[in-house]
Amino acid sequence: MAGWLLGLGCLSISAAHAQVAAPSVERAPGNVEPPTVERNDPLLVQLAYTGDLLTSVAGGASGGSRWIHNASAIATADLEQLAGLRRTTALVHGFYNNGASFSGDVVGDAQVVSSIEAGMPLLRVLEAWVEHRGPDDRWSAKAGLYDINSEFDALETSLLFVNSAFGMGSDLGTSGRNGPSTFPSTGLAVRGQVKIGQALTLRAAVADGVPNDPAFPRRLNVGLHSGDGALLIGEGDVELGNLRLLAGVWGYTARIDDRFDVGVAAATERQVASNGVYLRGEAQLIGDRDRGVRAFVRLGSASGRANIFDRFVSGGIVGHGLLRGRPADDSGIAIAWAGAGSASRELAFARFGEAPEAETTIELTHRFAVTDWLGVQPHAQYVLDPGLDPTLDNALIFGVRLTANFAH
């Protein structure tokens, strides 16, 4: 289950204007930036809370409700001011998650209804890294415990949505022996980034191929182990006016057990390569960021024998400030289609005599900005063919997400 519970899904609030930059909009989990901070403090501390009350009213594995909550503390330090290290920043991000399981116990879907579902109670450090920037911030290098989805495969528009599929794409998010290095399990990594001209940024990272220890999922294990290999990922990021595009490629250096053999507990398991590509974009369609409509789309492909999903398509529309008297509210509708890999289809056919082609999620949501630090977000989700299990009926879910954040 841990390999599924990846991704982000909550709207960011206005960025901090502090000398120490606030965590990026992709910071997981919760993805909320702190309210405006006008001081030039060398240390910025952010506290964030995300809670999801979810109820399955039809279909899925069973009916029922769950309350999932996640609390984060993030400290960002300017080491030039604090220790004399020029153009160097450090970040530590810890979180507590109560471990309530909704997709795992109630719905049975693989893309995960809530982006903060960890599947087990956890108190751990998610990130702890140091970043050094070159003159004019044209290049930077980062090393430490690192969430790759904080910078890779991440755009702001889709972060309004609650379902994990609208954070990191499900083709990449369900890959690997224990998922890629992202919430709730991260590993050691090195990331480099360079800006070319005014529009193009290139970034690449090498991360632990098996973050933490799948045999002991509640432990924080940041060591590198023989046979784990590495996850290699590279991305091009282009900004052209109101249009932003990401193109990425990724792969694991160590071969991975064939999904079908693992599912049937075969005595001899085949080793297969796991890699993929993705293309992601967002654009302003109407108006501007203060009041307007934005859209996003993502396409992805991955190895069919090594991964649960080998094709992925998502897209959606988000309106900001469209309601009279509610200038900070957001409304959105999105869909994510995750095509079953060849091994997943074979396994489903062996178990049930039929094999769904894909799992599809549709989400409709509206976020009320109660204050600049508090949001209330009712939403509805409809999941078709949850978990690629033909014995489960399509699931209808209603929920409310509560987000709160504070920065000092």
Give the pLDDT score at 265.
Answer: 65
Give the pLDDT score at 217.
Answer: 74
Read off the pTM.
0.88
pLDDT tens string 337-381: 999 999 899 988 888 889 899 999 999 999 999 998 999 999 999
Give the pLDDT score at 268.
Answer: 61
How many other CB atoms are there within 10 angstroms of residue 58's CB atom? 11
**If you search the block for the tokens 């190895």, which residue do you land on?**
303
Give the pLDDT score at 260.
Answer: 73
How many other CB atoms are there within 10 angstroms of residue 10's CB atom? 29
Considering only residues 221 and 293, tell me which one the structure prediction assigns the higher pLDDT: 293
Considering only residues 343 and 219, tell me which one the structure prediction assigns the higher pLDDT: 343
Cis peptide before 135 (omega within 30 of 0): no
Considering only residues 122 and 33, tell me which one the structure prediction assigns the higher pLDDT: 122
Give the pLDDT score at 214.
Answer: 75
Question: What is the share, in percent, of the chain residues with pLDDT greater than 90?
Answer: 71
- The CATH number of the structural domain formed by 43-407 is 2.40.160.180
Task: Reply yes or no on whether the pLDDT at 294 is more than 60.
Answer: yes
What is the pLDDT of the chain when averaged over all its residues? 87
Task: Reply yes or no on whether the pLDDT at 264 is more than 80.
Answer: no
| Runs of H (alpha helix) within 313-369 | 342-352
Task: Reply yes or no on whether the pLDDT at 4 is more than 90.
Answer: no
Task: Reply yes or no on whether the pLDDT at 262 is more than 60.
Answer: yes
| Runs of H (alpha helix) within 246-336 | 259-263
Considering only residues 334 and 40, tell me which one the structure prediction assigns the higher pLDDT: 334
pLDDT tens string 297-307: 999 999 999 99
What is the residue type of 290? D
Which whole number is the average pLDDT over 54-73?
94
Distance between CA atoms of residues 296 and 363, nearest Å: 14
State the Cα torsion 47-106-362-69 to the nearest 10°.
Answer: -10
Give the pLDDT score at 17.
Answer: 26
Which pLDDT band holds residue 118 (cuts at 50, 70, 90)?
A: very high
Give the pLDDT score at 3.
Answer: 36
Distance between CA atoms of residues 407 and 16, nearest Å: 9
Question: What is the share, in percent, of the chain residues with pLDDT greater than 70?
Answer: 89
Q: Please say whether the beta carbons of 308 and 341 come within 8 A.
A: yes
Q: Please say whether the beta carbons of 293 and 317 come within 8 A.
A: yes
Locate 367 and state its tokens: 């976020």
Give the pLDDT score at 266.
Answer: 63
How many other CB atoms are there within 10 angstroms of residue 321's CB atom? 18
Give the pLDDT score at 27.
Answer: 45
How many other CB atoms are there within 10 angstroms of residue 39's CB atom? 12
> So where are the chain's domains?
43-407
Task: Reply yes or no on whether the pLDDT at 1 is more than 50.
Answer: no
Distance between CA atoms of residues 294 and 324, nearest Å: 18
Give the pLDDT score at 28.
Answer: 44
Q: What is the largest CA-CA distance in the chain?
A: 65
pLDDT tens string 16-38: 222 333 333 334 444 444 444 44
Task: Reply yes or no on whether the pLDDT at 223 is more than 80.
Answer: no
pLDDT tens string 154-210: 998 999 999 999 999 999 999 998 899 999 999 999 999 999 999 999 999 999 999
pLDDT tens string 226-248: 788 999 999 999 999 999 999 99
Task: Reply yes or no on whether the pLDDT at 63 is more than 50.
Answer: yes
Task: Reply yes or no on whether the pLDDT at 14 is more than 60.
Answer: no
Q: Please say whether the beta carbons of 110 and 308 come within 8 A.
A: yes
Task: Reply yes or no on whether the pLDDT at 216 is more than 80.
Answer: no
Give the pLDDT score at 267.
Answer: 55
